[in-house]
Amino acid sequence: TYTNGHVGTADGPETTEADTSGSGRMRKSLEGRGSTQNDSIHLKRRVGLFSGVALIVGTMIGSGIFVSPSGLLVRTGSVGVSFLIWLACGLLSLLGALSYAELGTMNTSSGAEWAYFMDAFGPAPAFLFSWVSTLVLKPSQMAIICLSFAQYAVEAFVSECDPPISVIKMVALLAVIMILFVNCYSVDLGMAVQNIFTAAKLVAVLIVICGGAYKLAQGNVQHLTNAFNNPAPSVGAVATAFYTGLWAYDGWNNLNYVTEEIQNPSKNLPRSIIIGIPLVTLCYALINISYLAAMSPIEMIESEAVAVTFGNRILGALAWLMPLSVTVSTFGSANGTLFAAGRLCFAASREGHLLDILSYVHVRRLTPAPGLIFHSLIAAAMVLYGTIDSLIDFFSFTAWIFYGGSMVALLVMRYTKPNYPRPYKVPLIIPILVLVISGYLVAAPIVEKPQIEYLYAVLFILAGLIFYVPFVKMGLTPRFMGMLIL
Ligand code: ARG
């Protein structure tokens, strides 16, 4: 019931656009598609502006804003500095995403970083990205969010003691399976879940903001005055605080993974970014103020889950709404993450960069089911063997290496491919700034506190070459792969 995704994805006028902007190999596969177009199966363009915004906002707002504010306060030791970092993270995400808007409207194939690396640097770096991303980045995002989901879902029922870790892991696995099912069933169902959960989580955000406004109106402003009274934090502490904040904003590039399914991407991609990211930044800023209207910074640091403490203070009999909101929020975010991950797998494997079978699309359901199942299996293993904190640290370090890489790709292509159509052109200073900051984000924690794990992370990225040379460059097909394809 599967067909190979080599035939491409688009219908409608965007096909031409993709043809002119893809890399040599990409173009080859797209041209190849032309002749087989009629009997080909492809992912349809179903993502409009609303769904585009939902894919960004609904993925970005996940667990972070409900758990990280205390972490940021601990690391900076000051309400004012924390707040500035929250805003700076939003601005950095917006600048990064604007650069991705140029990349995504110039090369309209799905797969984000993978497609841009392919164009700018060629197949080997693109392969390294898909290697790290399919084996580590995407599954770890999924695992972190599902673990947070489980923690809150279980907490709602167990109030007397800490819930057993095995129960949390089982619930997290259940979440992975449910989301996998939704996304394999149909693209429409995946999108519907995304839209509904995004709307629901925006309502939850609104409840927090209104609660905070009510408290402020009562005159509870004492924790917001003198916000800069504490000593300034160290440079390294600021970098790690950024990591905590940036996790809450991660997902700003999510729509770039599914460009081939966006209707009129050259308009809707930049628009969704320009609407989505400032909206999230505004929500996060207001939520932080609301928390401080309801509790002191010390109470915030001591709270296991700020949002739940907030609910207990403000919502009275409706306090249960808070853990429920967090589960809704994380479930939606995990759904958006898997939706994007499946597309990355699909795009990379149709170029022969991953097992061929991962590029298959289910004939009737038109979903990239094998890619989705593959990601979910690795995510499940991470749920079983990892913890939220260890996963976040490793994730952020590796992710920012690649976000920086995309900025280099943009700059390189301004010179190597000056004639590619660029429906949206970002001012050059923006990718340069993001590149410098990502360099700082990657280097600062290593300089501040050298850990062997960072070396392992780099070695792991490079280890991909061991697979690249025989299987992709020389085109050897291991026996088991051949059997799968047959
Ligand atoms: N920002 C989300 C959160 O706070 C995590 C998003 C994961 N990243 C992604 N690209 N799907 O939980």
Helix H, strand E, coil C: the string for 398-451 is HHHHHHHHHHHHHHHHHHHCCCCCCCCCCCCHHHHHHHHHHHHHHHHHHHHCCC
Per DSSP, 1 falls in state: -
Pocket of ligand 1 (CB under 6 A): 59-60, 62-64, 141, 145, 247-248, 250-251, 254, 333, 337
- Please tell me the predicted confidence (pLDDT) of residue 23: 35
Question: Considering the entire predicted model, what is its pTM?
Answer: 0.83
| CB of 341 closer than 8 Å to CB of 335 | no
Number of neighbours of residue 241 by Cβ within 10 angstroms = 25
58 alpha carbon – ligand 1 mean position (Å): 9
Which of these, 63, 72, 67, lies nearest to 297 by C-alpha position? Answer: 72
What is the whole-number distance in angstroms between the Cα of residue 251 and the centre of ligand 1? 5
Q: What share of the chain in percent tops pLDDT 70?
A: 80
At 29 the pLDDT is 34
Task: Band the pLDDT of 360: cuts 50, 70, 90.
Answer: low
Query: Given the CA of residue 252, which atom of ligand 1 is nearest to it?
Result: 10
Query: What pLDDT sits at residue 244?
Result: 85
User: Span 286-311, mean pLDDT?
Assistant: 87
362 pLDDT more than 60 = no
Distance 217 CA to ligand 1 centre (A): 33
Helix axes 138-155, 321-350, angle to 10 degrees: 160
Find the 63 Cα to ligand 1 centroid distance in Å: 8
More confident residue, 368 or 306: 306
How far, in Å, CA of 407 to CA of 200, rounded? 34
Q: Which residue has the higher pLDDT, 218 or 16?
A: 218
What is the mean pLDDT of the segment spanning 456-467?
A: 72
Is residue 314 over pLDDT 90? Answer: no
Dig out the tokens for 131 from the structure: 């290697």
Q: Residue 393 is encoded by which pair of tokens?
A: 């640290």
Q: Indicate the range of 95-109, 293-307, 401-415 predicted with least confidence.
A: 293-307
Tens digit of each residue's pLDDT (9 = 90 or more) over 398-442: 899 999 999 999 999 999 999 988 999 999 999 999 999 999 888
Supply the residue whose CA is at minimum distance from atom 9 of ligand 1. Answer: 251
pLDDT of residue 28: 30
Taking only Cα atoms into account, the Rg of the chain, rounded to an integer number of angstroms, comes to: 22
Query: Residue 398 and residue 132: Cα distance in Å, rounded?
Result: 9
Of the pLDDT bands very low, low, confident and very high (cuts 50, 70, 90), residue 38 is very low
CA 136 / ligand 1 centre spacing (Å): 14
Quick one: tokens of 366? 């038109």
Q: Which two tokens stand for residue 23?
A: 């890399």
The CA 340 to ligand 1 mean position distance, Å, reads: 11
Token output for 229:
């009274």
Nearest residue to 269 via CA among 253, 281, 280: 253
Cβ within 8 Å of residue 379, ≥6 positions away: 138, 139, 140, 142, 143, 146, 176
Which residue type, as a one-letter code, is found at position 12? Answer: G
Kindly state the average pLDDT of the residues 132-138.
85
Identify the residue with better confidence: 69 or 15.
69
What is the per-residue pLDDT across 245-270, written as a single tens digit (0 to 9) for each?
999 999 999 899 888 888 999 999 99
Measured in whole angstroms, the distance separating CA 78 from the mean position of its chain's CA atoms is 28
- At 117, is the pLDDT very low, low, confident or very high (cuts 50, 70, 90)? very high
> How confident is the model over 161-209, as pLDDT tens digits?
777 888 999 999 999 999 998 888 877 788 888 888 988 888 889 989 9
Q: How many CA atoms lie within 13 A of 129 on its CB side?
A: 28
Other Cβ atoms less than 10 A from the Cβ of 381: the count is 12
Q: For 371-409, what is each residue's pLDDT tens digit?
A: 788 888 889 998 888 777 777 777 888 899 999 999 999
DSSP 474: S
Q: Give the lowest-confidence range in 130-139, 212-221, 356-365.
A: 356-365
Supply the pLDDT for residue 352: 63
For 271-298, what is the mean pLDDT?
93
Predicted pLDDT of residue 346: 72
Is 292 exposed, middle or buried, given 0-12, 13-18 or 19+ CB atoms closer than 10 A? Answer: buried
**106's tokens:** 């110039």
d(Cα 301, Cα 7) in Å, to the nearest integer? 53
Mutate to test the pocket of ligand 1, among 136, 333, 406 (most ligand atoms within 8 A of CB): 333
3-state secondary structure of 253: coil
Q: Which residue has the tokens 């109106």?
A: 217
CA 59 to CA 340: how far, in whole Å? Answer: 10
> What integer pLDDT is reported at residue 408 of this predicted model?
96
Q: What percent of the chain has pLDDT over 90?
A: 29
Helix (H) or strand (E) holding 3: strand 2-4
On average, the pLDDT of the chain sits at 79
Contacts of 284 (CB under 8 A, 6+ apart): 65, 86, 90, 248, 249
CB neighbour class for 406 (10 Å; exposed up to 12, middle 13-18, buried from 19): buried
Q: What pLDDT score was predicted for residue 366?
A: 58
What's the whole-number mean pLDDT along residues 298-303? 85
